[in-house]
Chains A and B, each alone.
Chain A
Amino acid sequence: MTKFQVNRRTLIKSGAAIGAGLALPTIFTSSARAYLNEPKGDTVVLGFNVPQTGPYADEGLDELRAQELAVQHLNGEGDGGMLNTFSSKVLKGNGILGKKVTFVSGDTQTKSDAARASAKSMIEKDGAIMINGGSSSGVAVAVQGLCQEAGVIFMAGLTHSNDTTGKDKKRNGFRHFFNAYMSGQALAPVLAKAYGSDRRAYHLTADYTWGWTQQESIAKATEAMGWETVNNVLTPLAATDFSSYIAPVLNSGADVLVLNHYGGNMVNSLTNAVQFGLRDKTVNGKQFEIVVPLYSELMAAGAGANVRGVFGSMNWNWQLQDEGSKAFVKSFGEKYGRPPSNSAHTCYVQTLLYADAVERAGTFDPCGVVEALEGFEFDGLGNGPTLYRAEDHQCFKDVLVMKGTENPTNEYDTLEIVEVTPRAQVEYAPDHPMFAGGDLGQCNSGA
């Protein structure tokens, strides 16, 4: 009979051997699984792709400001902003995985081909490990596709079309911003309450992916409340004067005009509608009303007094009083002297979420980041408890119903929060018909 004796020396030796054995597969895997633009030195490069020229240049500038602020906070500069309120506590202000964060920027020009070219350049020439930003759904879908092919993560900026996380969703792409369906679900009950359930709506819709999904979403949601859709007229994206589209509304029997327009289109169509006296009219014994489903602060400022009293929706607004929003508004406001827009907020949050996912995954490998983001639940970033749903990479969170401020007190006081619609009201099944037809596919690390 052999006596098995365990002394201190044997235990240490055995422990070391077992530890090395267990660690071996991981070491082997991590060195074997190479991925595109793996950071080699002590820095990591993020790519911020925003409109710097063209009609959305001001919105792009605001996104870039927020992204710069996020980089500062990640590197431990400034007051830390939302890092202090973020429910995940893995980010310590020492960069990402100990590497100092740097960034390059590209100009999308709000054109799909230009946006793809600038993203490609940042990935191939500058070694960007991730692409963030944008101000259009057409651009988001195009850049998301490029990032999927290239093998980097795409953290979308302002993109509101259902298609971005619907038929065009990709495994490497993630959207924090809300979508057209959510706008419809949030707005419809508020509209029914304010204007009644017996309404006839006339839609003017921008003739591209966002316009179509926005119109479908708001029409379905308002019809469910009892409204009737009288007509839907598609307007060219390049249109500047909407008078000939608005004139037929006057005698259509409609008592609500829904403007499924964004940006310059929205500013002009709303201005034209007010000029034609629509808001002074009484139709079917009711006051005529105008609805703008998607608002942005910059566009509301462009429309001036015409937005007063007009309902719409937003992803986030600087007037929110939760701790995360207050921290972000303070950081941004002190640095730039103005409150951030909701596109700035989403780009800032997306940058933090990416960095957090890398820290939790322990790697910049896109497939590891995808895994860390899928199904991730978090709070403290301004929209309440939020889920990055694994099935479609769409964030689910509270949505804001807004109204044009009747008596503004300063230049930023253009919109007021009417309601914070709870997340449960805007959730939908992953296979909802409005989001059907897409497939996330496999993650691509570009190796």
Chain B
Amino acid sequence: MDAIILQILNGLDKGSAYAMIALGLTLIFGTLGVVNFAHGALFMLGAFCAVTLQRLLSLSYTVEDPTQKDFLGNPLKVDTPYIVSWFGDSAGNAILNWSVPLAILFAIPVMLLIGYVMERGLIKHFYKRPHADQILVTFGLAIVIQEIVKYFYGANPIPTPAPDVFRGSVDFGVMIGFAPNEIIYPYWRLVYFFFSAAIIGAVFAFLRFTTFGMVVRAGMADRETVGLLGINIDKRFTIMFGIAAAVAGLAGVMYAPINSPNYHMGMDFLVLSFVVVVVGGMGSLPGAVLAGFLLGVLESFASMNEIKSVLPGIDQIIIYLVAIIILLTRPRGLMGRRGVMEE
């Protein structure tokens, strides 16, 4: 039982990332009708917002320490971050330690801006073009973004740790009545799950309870009619593109302590997230979220030794297997609108 609960937790955690990326993808597809293959790159850029802020906060001045030697036998150059010298050891190091949560504030405007520039500068020219063109141009854009990041940050993963207070793990089992040490789960992964739930909830609330959101939903249902009412729906959709980019970026920021960011991490998530969108139903926001968590949990269960001993290699194909079954039996996906992907 403890193994099952652990895999459910793992699945929800993986699903959190899938759901946030798929939510953004669906928002863009639902509003602008664009299949955005650069969305994984936006997730990666979010993670690199955390890396960038960590580096900015770590900007240092160098002092030579003659008592220590570097690898060439020269006096060792010791770096002291400006922030530590300005605010003192305790406050300065605390700011450095909390660089990932602080990066949320940094990433929101950066990602909104990136989303806005991406949409206005490139993607708007492909609205009326076939999906194949959109896929080609956004996939190309993803590669360009990847290579730019690699040029500046290198190909090696960059450690971006969580604040000390969230390092280590919690005895989750004790909280739900199990014996101590049976269900241990990392603090930060729980934080990630609750963070994603809050972001997903906020996006739904924004669309549901604000006038802006109502107009966007109306535009998703019938763009032409909303336009005839004198509403500039294109402008709102551009803003939604920025919001979708910010959601992917925030997913990336908070993911940075889970796995050290590298320039190709977006591609690792991209294909899976598209499968999530297709399984959930193209254009369905609740479908994207439901499928994200569902496939995350299924993927985790497929990695269990008990399952792998019966079906070797199932962990590598489970998500695609589910996608094939869904496409064969219910082409519009779990919660997709009738007619979408069914023709």
Residues in A lying within 8 Å of B, measured CB to CB: 53-58, 231, 233, 236, 238, 240-241, 243-245, 247-248, 250-251, 264, 267-268, 271-272, 275-277, 280-281, 298-299, 301-306, 318-319, 329-330, 333-334, 339, 409-410, 412
Question: Given A251-B182, A303-B260, A304-B159, do A275 and B189 touch, yes or no (CB 8 Å)?
Answer: yes
Report whether A58 and B154 are in contact in the complex, using a CB–CB cutoff of 8 Å. yes
Q: Is the CB of B71 within 8 A of A329?
A: yes
Q: Do A305 and B189 touch (CB < 8 A)?
A: no
A275-B189, A304-B159, A305-B161 given; A243·B10 CB < 8 A: yes
Give the docked Cα–Cα distance between A240 and B258 (Å): 10
Asked if residues A244 and B159 are in contact (CB atoms below 8 Å), the reply is: no
Chain B's nearest CB lies how many Å from the CB of A337? Answer: 9
Q: Once the chains are docked, how many angstroms separate the CA of A211 from the CA of B185?
A: 27
In the bound complex, residues from chain A placing their C-beta under 8 Å from that of B182 are 251
Q: Is the CB of B71 within 8 A of A412?
A: yes
Q: Inside 8 A of A54's CB, which chain B residues have their CB?
A: 155, 264
Q: Is B184's CB within 8 Å of the partner chain A? A: yes
In the bound complex, residues from chain A placing their C-beta under 8 Å from that of B259 are: 240-241, 267-268, 271-272
B119 beta carbon closer than 8 Å to chain A: no
By a CB distance below 8 angstroms, the chain B residues around A238 are 268, 316
- In the assembled complex, the Cα of A85 lies from the Cα of B336 at a distance in Å of 71
- CB within 8 A of B169: which of A277, A306, A410? A277
B258 touches A241 (CB 8 A): yes
When C-beta atoms are compared, the residue in chain B nearest to A252 turns out to be B305
Contacting pair B315 A339 (CB below 8 A): no
Nearest-neighbour CB distance to chain B for A5, whole angstroms, equals 71
- Alpha-carbon separation in the docked complex, A333 to B13 (Å): 43
Q: A278 CA to B32 CA in the complex, in Å? A: 46
What distance in Å separates the Cβ of B18 from its nearest Cβ neighbour in chain A? 11
Q: Which residue of A lies closest to B184 (CB)?
A: A277
A276 near B159: Cβ-Cβ < 8 Å: no
Q: List 29 A-B contacts (CB under 8 A).
A: A53-B150, A55-B155, A55-B262, A55-B264, A58-B155, A233-B308, A240-B265, A243-B13, A248-B6, A248-B304, A250-B6, A250-B184, A251-B2, A251-B3, A267-B157, A271-B159, A271-B260, A275-B167, A275-B169, A277-B184, A277-B186, A280-B169, A301-B159, A302-B158, A303-B260, A304-B260, A305-B161, A318-B71, A409-B76
With contact pairs A277-B186, A303-B260 given, residues A244 and B300 touching in the complex (Cβ less than 8 Å): yes
On whether the beta carbons of A410 and B76 are closer than 8 Å, the reply is yes
Q: Is the CB of B68 within 8 A of A243?
A: no
Which of B72, B155, B300 touches A334 (beta carbons < 8 Å)? B72
Contact B303 A245 (CB under 8 A): yes
Q: Find out whether the CB atom of B262 lies under 8 angstroms from the CB atom of A276.
A: no
Q: State the total of A-B contacts with C-beta under 8 angstroms.
A: 120
Does B70 belong to the interface (CB within 8 Å)? yes
Question: Is B48 interfacial (CB 8 A cutoff)?
Answer: no
List chain A residues, Cβ under 8 A from B304. Answer: 244, 248
Chain B hits for A243, CB < 8 A: 10, 13-14, 189, 300
Whole-angstrom CA separation of A251 from B184 in the bound complex:
10
A344 to chain B, nearest CB (A): 14
Does B232 belong to the interface (CB within 8 Å)? Answer: no
- Interfacial chain A residues near B300, Cβ < 8 Å: 243-244
Q: How far is the CA of A245 from the CA of B308 in the complex (A)?
A: 11
Give the residue of A55, A236, A244 whose beta carbon is less than 8 angstroms from that of B10: A244
Q: Which residues of B308-326 have CB atoms within 8 Å of chain A's CB atoms?
A: 308, 315-316
Tell me what chain B mostly uses at the interface: helix, strand, loop, or mixed.
Answer: mixed
Q: Which of A275, A302, A305 contacts B186 (CB 8 A)?
A: A275
User: In the bound complex, do residue A247 and residue B3 qualify as a contact, i.e. CB atoms below 8 Å apart?
Assistant: yes
From A58, A244, A302, contact of B7 by CB (8 A)? A244
Q: Which residue of B lies closest to A57 (CB)?
A: B155
Chain A residues positioned under 8 Å from B305 (CB to CB): 231, 233, 248
Is the Cβ of B268 less than 8 Å from the Cβ of A302? no
B14 touches A248 (CB 8 A): no
Q: How far is the CB of A262 from chain B (nearest CB, A)?
A: 13
Given the contacts A247-B10, A305-B161, A298 and B168 also touching, CB distance less than 8 Å:
no
Is there an interface contact between B157 and A302, defined as CB atoms closer than 8 Å?
yes
CA distance in complex: A319, B157 (Å): 23
Q: Decide if A304 touches B161 in the complex (CB within 8 Å).
A: yes
Quick one: which of B168, B185, B264 contacts A280, CB cutoff 8 A? B168
**Residue B156 at the A interface, CB < 8 A?**
yes
Distance (whole angstroms) from the CB of B120 to the closest CB of chain A: 30
| Contact code string B258-276 (vs A, CB < 8 Å = 1, else 0) | 1110101100100000000
Chain B 294-306, CB-CB to A under 8 Å as 1, else 0, gives 0000011001110
| Bound: A410/B68 CA distance, A | 11
Residues of B within 8 A of A272 (CB): 258-259
Q: Is the CB of A333 within 8 A of B72?
A: yes
How close is B322's CB to chain A, nearest CB, in angstroms? 16
CA distance A54 to B263 in the complex (A): 9
Roughly how many angstroms separate A255 CA and B81 CA in the complex, as a whole number? 39
Q: Write out the residue numbers on chain B whose beta carbons fall within 8 Å of the beta carbon of A244.
A: 7, 10-11, 14, 299-300, 303-304, 315
B71 touches A333 (CB 8 A): yes
- Which residues of the partner chain A approach B13 to less than 8 Å between Cβ atoms? 243
